[in-house]
Amino acid sequence: MRIALTINVRMILDNLGRRGYTARMAPKRQDRLAKRITARGRRLTDQRLVVAEALAACREAVSAQELHGRLRRGHPRLALATVYRALEAQVESGMARRLERSGHVSAYVACEPAHHHHLVCTRCQRVSDVDEALLRPLLRRIDDRHGFTVEHERLDFYGLCASCRRRAGDR
């Protein structure tokens, strides 16, 4: 089964250009993305790979519309609905996180498999990871104070990054 999956992944990666989808990332990174897409039984498609590749290349949180706009030039047949579905599939499989912007607009950021949290700049949309180790003392205090054992947590911190604070003259 694993050999068949590897052959299928390689076949799709090799045929991207023939179907109008061009690969822009290193083959090893493409292989890793393809394996993450298929890890939970999802079918690997050209569109899912192109969307995953584009999101992984972003340094900031992007909405489905923004990502579609960036991809549209190189992939004119890629529909906005396909981008939405591919992003939601990535969220479900842990490849991406959905963040909320003001006005209840969803934005997406690619994630590594290890559990972590995010710092989201509300001005430039840059996203940084927060190491889980920073929260361990807080989780211990919750247990000590409330007798509550946290089994899972998901925290996203919204504010201004150091760069935006400097530009705004804040300290």
Taking only the tens place, the pLDDT of each residue in 51-105 is 999 999 998 999 999 999 999 999 999 999 999 999 999 998 889 999 988 888 9
Query: Are 83 and 71 in contact, with CB atoms under 8 Å apart?
Result: yes
Tally of residues, the chain: 171
d(CA 77, CA 94): 27
Tell me what the mean pLDDT of segment 147-160 comes to.
90
d(CA 24, CA 71): 12
Please determine, looking at this structure, whether the domain spanning 1-113 carries the CATH number 1.10.10.10.
yes
d(CA 151, CA 56): 28
Query: Are 25 and 13 in contact, with CB atoms under 8 Å apart?
Result: no
| Residue ranges matching CATH 1.10.10.10 in the chain | 1-113
Structure tokens at 59: 């340094």
Instruction: Give residues with Cβ within 8 angstroms of 126, minimum separation 6.
Output: 59, 60, 120, 161, 163
| Residue ranges matching CATH 3.30.1490.190 in the chain | 117-171
Which of 20-34, 41-55, 109-123, 134-148 is the least confident region? 20-34
Name the CATH superfamily for 117-171: Ferric-uptake regulator, C-terminal dimerisarion domain (3.30.1490.190)
Most confident range (mean pLDDT) of 5-9, 26-30, 157-161 is 157-161
According to the model, what pLDDT value does residue 5 have? 47
Tell me what the mean pLDDT of segment 107-130 comes to.
89
Entry pTM: 0.71
- pLDDT of residue 12 exceeding 60: no
